[in-house]
Amino acid sequence: DAKTTQPPSMDCAEGRAANLPCNHSTISGNEYVYWYRQIHSQGPQYIIHGLKNNETNEMASLIITEDRKSSTLILPHATLRDTAVYYCIVRVAGAGGTSYGKLTFGQGTILTVHP
Amino acid sequence: DAGVTQSPTHLIKTRGQHVTLRCSPISGHKSVSWYQQVLGQGPQFIFQYYEKEERGRGNFPDRFSARQFPNYSSELNVNALLLGDSALYLCASSIGTDGGKLFFGSGTQLSVL
């Protein structure tokens, strides 16, 4: 799985959009970008994933650059409950064999949402 | 619907002891993965089981073992505990069609003294 680079921490004002960047310059053509977050004392929570097109769901939007070497997770209206560690992960979706169920987490970005 | 449940939530052991951690996946999920999360680090992959067979193993010593039962619940066993085994142990399940979309439990916090 490709290595990702994220800023260690970011701040955001409540009600504003939070834009979390991720660099994955060595991503392969068959690797998807996944985002998870982990709120204190809880297990990681799946947010969204995508291959090359922008994706949106009820939680967030994912913008992937055309060359796929970086992406941005957007929380459109951040709330205090969005304070968490956000992990960007790249992997081959639907991978079987020994990759099944394996996610390689990095250090992530600590997002702090302020009132 | 119940999410992934893990037991116990907290556990204190001493060096050299053995520990068993338990996980019940979401109903209908056939894949269970185990992760170790040391304080300040991201989770690290330990094992993955699918349809009761080990399908993947991370870089952990043989002191770590696991199994999956016919009802798809799972146990993680750690023998000869070391101080460095102190961590949050997370279990995750998936329905089996997208190995990247995992549903995690809240974990078992293991402290080894």
DSSP string, B49-83: EETTEEEEE-S--TTEEEEE-TTS-EEEEE-S--G
Residue of B nearest to A90 (CA): B100
DSSP-based three-state secondary structure for A82? helix
From the first residue on, what is the mean pLDDT of each consecutive set of 10 residues in chain A (115 residues)?
89 97 92 94 94 94 96 97 96 61 89 97
Residue of B nearest to A39 (CA): B106
pLDDT at A53: 86
Residue A34 sits at the vertex; the CA angle it makes with A29 and A40, to the nearest 5 degrees, is 160
pLDDT at B50: 86
Interface contact flag, A94 B97, Cβ < 8 Å: yes
Give residue-wise pLDDT tens across range B57-83: 899 999 999 999 999 999 999 999 999
List chain B residues with pLDDT less than 70: 1, 96-99
pLDDT at B55: 84
| Residue A90, beta-bridge partner list | A33
First to last CA, chain B: 37
DSSP-based three-state secondary structure for B92? strand
Question: Do residues B103 and A35 touch, judged by C-beta distance below 8 A?
Answer: no
Task: Assess whether the previous peptide bond of B8 is cis (omega < 30° from 0).
Answer: yes
Interface contact flag, A89 B100, Cβ < 8 Å: yes
A37-50 as b/e: b if 16+ CB within 10 A: bbeeeebbebbbbb
Residue of A nearest to B54 (CA): A98
Q: Give chain B positions within 8 Å (CB) of A43.
A: 4, 90, 92, 104-107
